[in-house]
Amino acid sequence: MDKFANDINDYLADNRVEELSELFSKFSEEFVKSAEILLPEEMESLPNEDFGLIIVDGKTVLRKYACSSPELTILNTELLLKDASTIPDEFVKVAGWNLAKACHRFGYTDGLTRLAKVASKTKVSNVVSTATINKVNFGLKKEASLEIEKAGFALPDEKRYPITNKEEVQQAIEYFNIYEDKFKQAEKLVYAWNTAAAARTFGVPISEESKISKYASLNPHYLNQQVGLHLELRKNLVDEKYEVLYDELKTKTSEFETNPLAFADILTKVDTEAGLAPMWGGIIENPVIVALDRIKTASIKIDGRTVTLNDIKQLLEHEKIGEVLDSYTLNELHTIDALDVFSTLPTPVREELYKLL
Task: Write out the chain in H/E/C secondary structure.
Answer: CCHHHHHHHHHCCCCCHHHHHHHHCCCCHHHHHHCCCCCHHHHHCCCHHHEEEEEEECCEEEEEEECCCHHHHHHHHHHHHHHCCCCCHHHHHHHHHHHHHHHHHHCCHHHHHHHCCCCCCCCCCCEEEHHHCCHHHHHHHHHHHHHHHHHCEEECCCCEEECCCHHHHHHHHHHHHHHHHHCCHHHHHHHHHHHHHHHHHHCCCCCCCCHHHHHHCEEEEEECCCHHHHHHHHHCCCCHHHHHHHHHHHHCHHHHCCCHHHHHHHHHHHHHHHCCHHHECCCECCHHHHHEEECCCCEEEECCEEEEHHHHHHHHCCCCHHHCCCHHHHHHCCCCCHHHHHHHCCHHHHHHHHCCC
Question: Are 208 and 173 within 8 A, CB to CB?
Answer: no
Strand partners of residue 240: none
Count of alpha carbons within 13 angstroms of residue 47, beta-carbon side: 2
pLDDT at 9: 47
pTM: 0.44
- Please give the residue that has the higher pLDDT: either 201 or 129: 129
pLDDT band of residue 190 (cuts 50, 70, 90) is: confident
Mean pLDDT, the chain, whole residue set: 82
Task: Say how far residue 341 (Cα) sits from the centre of its chain.
Answer: 25
Residues 6+ apart with CB under 8 A from 290: 224, 227, 230, 264, 267, 284
What's the pLDDT tens digit per position in 157-171? 888 899 988 889 999
pLDDT of residue 99: 94
Q: Which of 100-114, 202-216, 267-281 has the highest mean pLDDT?
A: 267-281
What's the mean pLDDT in 275-284?
A: 90
Statement: residue 7 has pLDDT above 50? no
Asked whether residue 14 carries a pLDDT value surpassing 60, the answer given is no
Which of 341, 289, 285, 290 is closest to 311 using CA atoms? 341
Q: Which residues share a beta bridge with 60?
A: 57
Residue 276 has pLDDT above 80, yes or no: yes
pLDDT of residue 37: 61
Measured CA to CA, the distance from residue 238 to residue 14 in angstroms comes to 66
Contact between 342 and 230 under an 8 Å Cβ cutoff? The reply is no
Between CA 108 and CA 71 the distance in angstroms is: 10
How far lies 16's CA from each of 10, 12, 23, 75, 173, in Å? 11, 9, 11, 12, 30
Q: How confident is the model at residue 121 (pLDDT cuts 50, 70, 90)?
A: confident
Query: Mean pLDDT throughout 299-308?
Result: 81
Mean pLDDT of 168-190: 89
Q: Nearest-5° angle of CA 140, CA 146, CA 147?
A: 90
What angle separates helix 240-251 from helix 260-274, to the nearest 10 degrees? 170
Residue 281 pLDDT grade (very low, low, confident, very high; cuts 50, 70, 90): confident
pLDDT digits (tens, 9 = 90+) for 57-96: 888 888 999 888 888 888 888 888 878 877 888 999 999 9
Predicted confidence (pLDDT) per residue in 210-266, tens digit = 899 888 888 877 898 889 999 999 999 999 999 999 999 999 999 998 888 899 999
pLDDT of residue 11: 45
